A and B are shown apart, each in its own frame.
Chain A
């Protein structure tokens, strides 16, 4: 089990989200709690249109700061990351320079556009057989020469770093349910260790890509009730214990918790917060939801609980970061609340815990 140094709170200077509920993190909790559902049929060909999902509306993406020419080199996840990076930097204190910021991102699977893939296959498949000869001769030429940049997972991070000339310490981390929490842990460590004075941390991903949907189906998640989602969220963090919107008390990742829930929950209570005013849950699929709700009922009875994935679906690497943003919004909109605990649980058993505290309590 991870042992961490005594945590120094880290201030949250700004936040940004992109999700089916829009581009505003402020009011997101209320919008999700009271607003109309964003679930609907996926805007994809059969059979995907039968899957209920929370996809981001094209109209929302039309507000993107990314030029169409740049988009040809970006996966959808990279585009979502670019949107939140642009927004979070726009909200930064002008005295903070992005140049030396750290940038730590939970990233998902590679996700090239289906148009590129189709063009490549069309030129490479003869009579339902993939021909390496045709692929080498015509298939490669049929796609955008910069196609590889859509495929590379780290470009979810790098496109945004390049657009804003962000040059500090960095990491692009992946694990189902844990990569984004790991990214935040690394950001907090970099700030506490003096590697940078400010850092961006979060995640961006889409579960609405056809190949990803096939994988989710093959593993039984879709049939098990998982509703795909997509989005991105970033926090700007600063190496100061006070100031800002709120502070992060700590973040930690506990692998394979099922056989040691009690031990882990006691540790969270000890290391993170003695008092939790609200819980934000981000479970990955139905079995994770059952586990997480059950353990919260035991260890945090009577604590208000908000289940993000019920409203936003499963946005994979984006989900934990969206949950942090909701936790932050909760603190901003509930005067009586001073702390929130965000718990995310992946399908492989990685439990992420992130605790937020309102500034006046810090």
Chain B
């Protein structure tokens, strides 16, 4: 049985484009949450988010951005459907994949590669309905109208298809549609594919943007975002936490077997040592308050990694900053770690970069890899006064140096899907 290692990482985050922009942002611990720029939110109940700093993606901008990465390939511009960039996560996924591929040291395509990618909801393009609406949708005209490539709704696997085309992957392609747990599930799945010998190379991670009218509006209707329209909107584990901040972006990783990585002299960022998934099976609007099923996912991941709770050096929490999530996660950590729980450093980066939804687990895995690489635990931006009902060793807003060998990262999805991975520093 072989182990799975991460040899390349690419990031598009609210801090900007690339791993280094993300690293700088994390080390500064600043919040990237601010007034939404990409569309008019003047009447929206939620007016802030952590947006990737580009207002509109175009084909020429994508071509130029991709050209900076060696070992990647130009997009077949002529076959790009009209309007594809309206679904922002497609562009984010492509750029992150190109950077990961390049950073992993690849200079040519490897068709044997598989894809296991977490993607968010299809983007609903409400404006497309307007010309066909007169008290009701005139489906006759909508159905028979001119045929741009993307209309009404982008397809769920659009970003995956374009990553496959960019990197010329020919292995099985799997898209995880598991809301906020999807990124972590995809990474665990990639490691599992390597371990079971199904493939030696997987591109994994996640991309999402729900910073669009229906995405933001739908979450607002649920009451998930903080009502504060300011940079301090999301305050994980804080006494005054009152909701999440939406974010967008992508993090993509090249995962391969340890032997293959050693053979080609690839940089090894970490081993994906363990993973586990469970479901709460509880309610659609709330996590299981006793944290028992989230704890089970954590325990499974630690068992798989062959470690005990005291071996953990850092927990990257799901830490949404919502009233219900954070105490349930605290319960889960206590259940899974027992008496060790109050001593293991915990932080959440969602106060800084927002909640990237399907990509949350991926961007947080990237934060864990940087923590391992730099031996610095990212801070919990906006944490001012820790909720006394959350007895955990939560790192404050400032990052903290530490000796980090094993990191555990949690992701819990709307609907109750729980996923945990354990990353291990490779000597």
Which residues of A are at the interface with B, using a C-beta cutoff of 8 A?
A: 1-5, 44-48, 73, 99, 103, 107-110, 114, 117-118, 120-122, 124-125, 128-130, 132-137, 139-140, 143, 145-149, 151-155, 157-159, 161-162, 164-176, 178-179, 182, 186, 189, 193, 195, 210-211, 213-215, 217-218, 253-256, 348, 350
**Smallest CB-CB separation from A107: which chain B residue?**
B177
**Smallest CB-CB separation from B43: which chain A residue?**
A136
B217: chain A residues within 8 A (beta carbon): 135-136, 139-140
Distance (whole angstroms) from the CB of A8 to the closest CB of chain B? 13
| B175 engages A121 (CB within 8 Å) | no
| B126 engages A135 (CB within 8 Å) | yes
**Smallest CB-CB separation from B175: which chain A residue?**
A174
Q: Mark B113-148, 1 if CB is under 8 A from A, else 0.
A: 000000001101011011101111101101110010
| CB-CB under 8 A for A158 and B417, given A117-B137, A148-B221, A179-B174 | yes
| B222 engages A146 (CB within 8 Å) | yes
Q: Does B37 contact A (CB under 8 A)?
A: no
| B170 engages A255 (CB within 8 Å) | yes
Distance (whole angstroms) from the CB of B155 to the closest CB of chain A? 7
| B278 engages A170 (CB within 8 Å) | yes
| A189 engages B196 (CB within 8 Å) | yes
| CB-CB under 8 A for A46 and B139, given A135-B217, A158-B415, A214-B151 | yes
Please pick, from B140, B153, B414, the residue contacting A215 in the complex, using a CB distance under 8 A: B153
Q: Does B173 contact A (CB under 8 A)?
A: yes
Q: Does B199 contact A (CB under 8 A)?
A: yes
6 residue pairs from A and B, CB less than 8 Å apart: A140-B221, A158-B417, A162-B281, A167-B279, A167-B281, A182-B174
| B143 engages A170 (CB within 8 Å) | no
Closest 7 CB pairs of A and B: A158-B415, A136-B43, A148-B218, A153-B177, A136-B44, A165-B281, A130-B127
B355: chain A residues within 8 A (beta carbon): none
| A114 engages B415 (CB within 8 Å) | no
Distance (whole angstroms) from the CB of A216 to the closest CB of chain B? 10
| B277 engages A132 (CB within 8 Å) | no
Q: What separation, in Å, do the CA atoms of A178 and B156 have in the docked complex?
A: 13
Q: Does B276 contact A (CB under 8 A)?
A: yes
Distance (whole angstroms) from the CB of B392 to the closest CB of chain A? 24
Q: Does B157 contact A (CB under 8 A)?
A: yes
A149: chain B residues within 8 A (beta carbon): 284, 414-415
Distance (whole angstroms) from the CB of B112 to the closest CB of chain A? 8
Within 8 A of A (CB), among B374-415: 413-415
A217: chain B residues within 8 A (beta carbon): 143
5 other A-B residue contacts (CB within 8 Å) besides A47-B144, A110-B153, A218-B147: A135-B217, A136-B44, A152-B414, A218-B149, A255-B170
| CB-CB under 8 A for A152 and B139, given A121-B133, A136-B44, A170-B277 | no
B339: chain A residues within 8 A (beta carbon): none
Query: For A110, A125, A171, A218, which residue has the most chain B Cβ atoms within 10 angstroms?
Result: A171
| CB-CB under 8 A for A161 and B40, given A153-B121, A179-B174, A214-B152 | no
| CB-CB under 8 A for A133 and B198, given A173-B175, A214-B143 | no
B213: chain A residues within 8 A (beta carbon): 132, 135-136
Query: For B127, B276, B281, B416, which residue has the most chain A Cβ atoms within 10 angstroms?
Result: B281
| A147 engages B218 (CB within 8 Å) | yes
Q: What separation, in Å, do the CA atoms of A169 and B417 have in the docked complex?
A: 9
**Smallest CB-CB separation from A169: which chain B residue?**
B277
**Secondary structure of the A contact surface, majority rule:** mixed
A47: chain B residues within 8 A (beta carbon): 139-140, 143-144
Q: Does B172 contact A (CB under 8 A)?
A: yes
| CB-CB under 8 A for A161 and B153, given A172-B178, A175-B175 | no
A129: chain B residues within 8 A (beta carbon): 130
| B278 engages A168 (CB within 8 Å) | yes
B156: chain A residues within 8 A (beta carbon): 108-110, 153, 174
Number of interface residues of B (CB under 8 A): 80
| A147 engages B221 (CB within 8 Å) | yes
**Smallest CB-CB separation from B186: which chain A residue?**
A171
| A158 engages B185 (CB within 8 Å) | no
Q: How many inter-chain contacts with C-beta < 8 Å in the A-B complex?
A: 242
| B178 engages A45 (CB within 8 Å) | no
Within 8 A of A (CB), among B1-48: 39-45
| A171 engages B178 (CB within 8 Å) | yes
Q: Does B296 contact A (CB under 8 A)?
A: yes
Distance (whole angstroms) from the CB of B359 to the closest CB of chain A? 14
Q: What separation, in Å, do the CA atoms of A348 and B115 have in the docked complex?
A: 14
A155: chain B residues within 8 A (beta carbon): 284, 414-415
Q: What separation, in Å, do the CA atoms of A170 and B149 have in the docked complex?
A: 33
B39: chain A residues within 8 A (beta carbon): 132
B130: chain A residues within 8 A (beta carbon): 121, 125, 128-130
**Smallest CB-CB separation from A256: which chain B residue?**
B170
Q: Does B283 contact A (CB under 8 A)?
A: yes
Q: Does B248 contact A (CB under 8 A)?
A: no
| CB-CB under 8 A for A48 and B281, given A4-B196, A170-B417 | no
| B136 engages A186 (CB within 8 Å) | no
Query: For B135, B175, B177, B185, which residue has the most chain A Cβ atoms within 10 angstroms?
Result: B177
Query: For A128, A132, A179, which residue has the most chain B Cβ atoms within 10 angstroms?
Result: A132
Query: For B45, B130, B156, B218, which residue has the most chain A Cβ atoms within 10 angstroms?
Result: B218
| B43 engages A133 (CB within 8 Å) | yes
| CB-CB under 8 A for A132 and B43, given A158-B284, A215-B153, A217-B143 | yes
Please pick, from A48, A171, A179, A254, the residue contacting B277 in the complex, using a CB distance under 8 A: A171
Within 8 A of A (CB), among B218-241: 218-223
B198: chain A residues within 8 A (beta carbon): 2-4
Distance (whole angstroms) from the CB of B79 to the closest CB of chain A? 14
**Smallest CB-CB separation from A3: which chain B residue?**
B197
Q: Does B280 contact A (CB under 8 A)?
A: yes
Please pick, from A158, A170, A175, the residue contacting B173 in the complex, using a CB distance under 8 A: A175
Q: Does B160 contact A (CB under 8 A)?
A: yes
B171: chain A residues within 8 A (beta carbon): 1-2, 255
B42: chain A residues within 8 A (beta carbon): 132-133, 136
| B416 engages A161 (CB within 8 Å) | yes
Q: Does B350 contact A (CB under 8 A)?
A: no
A168: chain B residues within 8 A (beta carbon): 278-279
B293: chain A residues within 8 A (beta carbon): 167
| B139 engages A162 (CB within 8 Å) | no
| A169 engages B281 (CB within 8 Å) | no
Q: What separation, in Å, do the CA atoms of A129 and B46 have in the docked complex?
A: 22
| B129 engages A125 (CB within 8 Å) | yes
A125: chain B residues within 8 A (beta carbon): 129-130, 133
| A253 engages B43 (CB within 8 Å) | no
| A172 engages B144 (CB within 8 Å) | no
| B143 engages A48 (CB within 8 Å) | yes
Q: Does B88 contact A (CB under 8 A)?
A: no
